[in-house]
Structure 1
Amino acid sequence: ELQNNFHIIYEYHLKGCSFLFYPLFIFLLLAYMFIFVANVGIVVLIWTDRSLHQPMYLLFCNLSVNDMMGNSLLVPRVLADILVPPSERHIHYYECVMQAFTAHMFGTNAHTVLMIMAFDRYVAICNPLRYSTVMTDKMVIKLTVSAWGVAFVLVGILLGLTIRLNRCRTLINVFINNIYGLTFTVVLLLSSVGSIILTYSKITEACLTSKSKSLNSKALKTCSTHLCLYLIMFISGLVPIILHRFPQYAEYRKVSAILFNVVPGSLNPVIYGLQSQEIHKSLIVKVFFPK
């Protein structure tokens, strides 16, 4: 199913949406500006404030970088195409491939990064005494490299299988591509959902057996935020996959594919920033009491 995003993006640039161009342009422009400023601000704040140099925040930086990457290549191009007539909307094949690679990396990274963030929460709540020895700087680096590396390899193979096809034919055999794309999607979703269910089952068990109110309060705050981010990403990504099964809703599928980038990218820094007291304090100090 992830392979279908390639065709969604390509189809959009060739045909385009046919309704409400200018309101959509204003909405996407404002959303992109907010995504860029908010995520850059979060990353800069975390890296410049030593009190925020904790695994939980450092791992979240991966999500902000992923949101900026996914939106920065897609949204500006969509904004540019909205301003020209549909007949003049063209895209070079190699630019389309780059967009497909970025779109797939964005979707895959969203899962892998949230998976390593779930592991961090599991260690923090279920093994608090070992947290500092397990979640070292080296472990944070290993988790980050693993999240991006796995996504890069999976997407690289997928795009490699697509690029190898000869486009100058009346019939293109994509059997291998479909098999790999389906396997890719199933493995990614099962790993993602499975890790979240397993992690939160262990966390729930730890909270129920623990008599510490501080532990339960910490678990509720951090885990509710993480779970909220995951559900937003999962639902917004599931909608275009479902709509792909209904050709009569092609226009809605195009819009939902764009919103899959915009919605999580806009809400992630807001939800995470509003929940974290440490980020609140650091932001207030940086803005109102700069040195």
Structure 2
Amino acid sequence: MMGLENHTYSSDFILMGLFFSSKTNMLFFSFILIIFIMTVAQNTVMILLIHRDPRLHTPMYFLLSHLSYMDILHTSNIVPKMVTNFISCSRTIFFFFAGCGFQIFLSITLLGGEFLLLAAMSYDCYVAICHPLRYPILMNDYASILMPTGSWFVGTLNSIVHTAYTLHLPFCGSRAIDHLFSEVPAMLKLSCVDTTHYERGVYVSDIIFLLIPFSLIFASYVQVLLTVLQMKSSEAQKNLFSTCFFHMIVVIIYYGPFIFTYMRPKSYHTPGQDKFLAIFYTIVTLTHNPIIYSFRNKDVLGAMKNMLKGLARWPSG
């Protein structure tokens, strides 16, 4: 009990982050900052295109707009804090509940929501290719709204549970969070109580938000590929196979680090591994999403050309 007397919920936590203020890290820091700017810019353009062009007012692009919005919030929740710490040489989290708590809450909400949204997008692709005649019925306006709304809602409920538990843990000894951001596995390592029961609950959550959606996505694309292989047009086969292949690459890069990070006991976590894996699902993958899911699409490229033409005529108009 003596160890619990010094536990605190105070604001004197330190976020170790990824960078230290040295010349050797300046290049890597600049690279991360460029990727962050690209991610925000690409996803913002994607949202504007979908909003402006009537040809993109379909269930698929509606889901894509929510994916882009989640990606912007996700990377903005992580990278600006990293940049601020690097520039100011200060790593202290002055208000634990407001600073660290909000970062945990938003991160888990967006991660859980995006997992479910990616599964919804794979279902949309499956229906469009495998059951094109039934697509207007299966992907009607109600279903198109329910999918992203449900992703946000379920992700938020899950986040409330995990955030509330993590913030009310007693923390003893070191206040240094050795991670890119305030993430649950990193916080559990600082707790001075046994969190075994909670970790079992985390496994249940992982099954719901990781393994089940990943299995549904995999099954959807397997059915899509089987349907594509039965097509007579070789050009259609090539285009659809290329699209499915890149989609699965994004899903594997995105889900893989999460499954490896969140489905291991905390005793097997090392700061170096967790930081490296976190770079993928907080920075790298989010840059690829607009390119893989949208900018390779003829409709999106056409909408972009129309928007650029409109901008070119705007000063003279």
TM-score band w.r.t. shorter chain: 0.7 to 0.9
CA RMSD of aligned residues (A): 2.9
User: Which of 24, 27, 40 is the aligned partner of 2:31?
Assistant: 27
1:89 counterpart residue number:
91
Distance 1:255 1:194 in 2: 25
Deviation sequence 1:52-98 (CA, Å, 0-9, x none): 1111111111211111011112110010111233xx41012121111
Task: Check the 8 A contact 2:110/2:152 in 1, yes or no.
Answer: no
User: Which of 9, 13, 16 is the aligned partner of 2:15?
Assistant: 13
2:192 counterpart residue number:
171
2:5 counterpart residue number:
none
- The range that moved more, 219-228 or 76-85, is 219-228
Task: Check the 8 A contact 2:130/2:224 in 1, yes or no.
Answer: yes
1:156 counterpart residue number:
160
2:248 counterpart residue number:
227
Task: Check the 8 A contact 2:108/2:158 in 1, yes or no.
Answer: no
Change (3 A) 1:236 1:176: closer
Deviation sequence 1:102-133 (CA, Å, 0-9, x none): 22223222311110001101111111011122
1:102 aligned onto 2:106: yes
- The range that moved more, 220-229 or 108-117, is 220-229
2:289 counterpart residue number:
268
Bigger radius of gyration among the two: 2
2:81 counterpart residue number:
77
Q: Which amino acid aligns with 2:109?
A: M
TM (norm. structure 2) is 0.77
Equivalent position SS for 1:172: coil
1:115 aligned onto 2:119: yes
Identity within the alignment, %? 23
Distance 2:83 2:226 in 1: 48
Q: Which amino acid aligns with 1:104?
A: I
Distance 1:14 1:210 in 2: 53
1:118-197 matched pairs, under 5 angstroms: 118-167=122-171, 171-197=192-218
User: Which of 223, 226, 232 is the aligned partner of 1:202?
Assistant: 223
1:23-62 matched pairs, under 5 angstroms: 23-62=27-66
- 1:211 deviation in Å? 4.1
Equivalent position SS for 1:151: helix
Q: Which amino acid aligns with 1:187?
A: I
User: Which of 237, 247, 254 is the aligned partner of 2:275?
Assistant: 254
Change (3 A) 1:70 1:185: same
Q: Which amino acid aligns with 2:249?
A: C
1:4 counterpart residue number:
none
Task: Check the 8 A contact 1:34/1:266 in 2, yes or no.
Answer: yes
Change (3 A) 1:43 1:198: same
Change (3 A) 1:270 1:156: same
Distance 1:240 1:265 in 2: 18
Task: Check the 8 A contact 1:125/1:206 in 2, yes or no.
Answer: yes
1:288 aligned onto 2:309: yes
Distance 2:201 2:163 in 1: 11
Distance 1:178 1:239 in 2: 14
Change (3 A) 1:73 1:15: closer
Task: Check the 8 A contact 1:42/1:269 in 2, yes or no.
Answer: yes
Change (3 A) 1:272 1:197: closer
- The range that moved more, 46-55 or 234-243, is 234-243
Equivalent position SS for 1:173: coil
Q: Which amino acid aligns with 1:96?
A: C
Task: Check the 8 A contact 1:39/1:64 in 2, yes or no.
Answer: yes
Task: Check the 8 A contact 2:123/2:220 in 1, yes or no.
Answer: yes
Equivalent position SS for 2:218: helix
1:66 aligned onto 2:87: no
The structure whose residues are more often helix, as a share, is: 1
